[in-house]
Amino acid sequence: MSRPAHLAVPASQFQRGGGKARVKKINGRVPVRKRQIWFAAGLAAATIFAIREVYVFVMTRPNLEVRSVQVTCPNPDVRAAVEQKAREMRWGNILRVDVSQVRRRFSEYSWVKDVSVRKVFPDTVSVDVTPRQPVAVLEKNVPVLIDQEGVELGPPPSEARAALPVFIDMLGFAEDARDKALLGWSCLRELTAEDRADIASLDLSDPGDVIATLRSSPTKLKLGDDLFRQKLALFRRTQDRWTQEFGPLEYMDLRFPDRIYIRTAEAKDGPSPTRPDKEAR
């Protein structure tokens, strides 16, 4: 059944207005009052002032002045030298002490191998020193003690000259002193404690031919530049045999893996020293 004509409504299409639609923007800024700005600035200034006053107060406190420097070291002579250097230093407030700089100052002393420095509040600095250990005497124009790194430690006392091996060089170590000293220590390091104590001297004039002199034997040993422990052990095993066969030996050449050359010692009124070497098998 169709709708009556007077009830019919003509169809219409919805349309926006012909002009541009206005969009309302939302302003996200919150206005800040001047008194809030002044309050924040004042608070920051007060904080900075307070920090400064605390800093000045702490840095000028007399009970934070360094009053004691405690040095520990197993070598009493090195400890005494470091303590003397500590007395000559100006310390001031413990908070201002630069630990790295203090370490450098103490390390300037040749006998100091390593040093640790720490602050013990309120007024003490603790210094722990590892001293260098002398291993030989370097026979220069003025003899000096050296450690295993070839560092020169100063003139040797008489007891050190008697107990330690002497490193010798025909040129007085005018050239390559450190390298030759390290070569000498590499030789000593390979040896047993007993053999090391038996070394009277090492001639390092030729780095390719280290010549050892023992306290227990007049025979010089030509050792080359390696296998020092094995060569010294070979000498100890065979020295009696060669001495019985040839008499006292001037030197034994142990540089070659498959043969030994020896030279017999010359009597005071004996022949010319141009005598040939002998090969021992």
Mean pLDDT of the residues in the chain: 84
Residue 225 pLDDT:
94
Q: Which fold has domain 62-131?
A: Ubiquitin-like (UB roll) (3.10.20)
Tens-place pLDDT, residues 145-200: 999 999 999 999 888 888 999 999 999 999 999 999 999 999 999 999 999 999 99
pLDDT greater at residue 43 or residue 89 = 89
- Which residue ranges make up each domain of the chain? 62-131, 134-280
Kindly report the number of other CB atoms within 10 A of residue 207's CB atom.
13
Tokens of 130: 């590892």
Edge to edge, the sheet with strand 68-72 lists: 68-72, 124-131, 112-120
Q: What is the average pLDDT across 133-142?
A: 96
The residue with tokens 């227990």 is 216
Weakest mean pLDDT among 44-48, 92-96, 204-208:
44-48
Residue 276 pLDDT:
54
Residue 271 pLDDT:
43
Per-residue pLDDT at 275 exceeds 60: no
Taking the C-alpha atoms of 168, 174, 180 and 185 in order, what is their torsion angle to the nearest 10 degrees? Answer: 60
Tens-place pLDDT, residues 244-260: 998 999 999 999 988 99
Q: What is the average pLDDT across 217-242?
A: 95
Q: How much of the chain exceeds pLDDT 70, in percent?
A: 76
Residue 136 and residue 166 in contact, taking contact as beta carbons nearer than 8 Å: yes
Q: What is the average pLDDT across 118-125?
A: 94
Q: What is the average pLDDT across 214-220?
A: 96
Edge to edge, the sheet with strand 144-147 lists: 152-154, 144-147, 134-138, 166-168, 199-203, 211-214, 220-222, 249-253, 260-264, 278-280
Residue 211 and residue 202 in contact, taking contact as beta carbons nearer than 8 Å: yes
Tens-place pLDDT, residues 27-75: 555 555 777 777 677 777 667 655 554 445 444 555 689 999 999 999 9
Residue 28 pLDDT:
54
Beta strands of the chain (E only): which ranges?
A: 68-72, 112-120, 124-131, 134-138, 144-147, 152-154, 166-168, 199-203, 211-214, 220-222, 249-253, 260-264, 278-280
What band does 269 get if pLDDT is binned at 50, 70 and 90? very low
Per-residue pLDDT at 273 exceeds 90: no
Q: 134-280: which CATH architecture?
A: 3-Layer(aba) Sandwich (3.40)
Q: What is the average pLDDT across 6-30?
A: 55
62-131 against 134-280: fold identical: no
- CA proximity to 168, closest of 137, 135, 146, 209: 137
Question: Which amino acid type is present at position 110?
Answer: S
Residue 272 pLDDT:
40
Question: Which amino acid type is present at position 56?
Answer: V
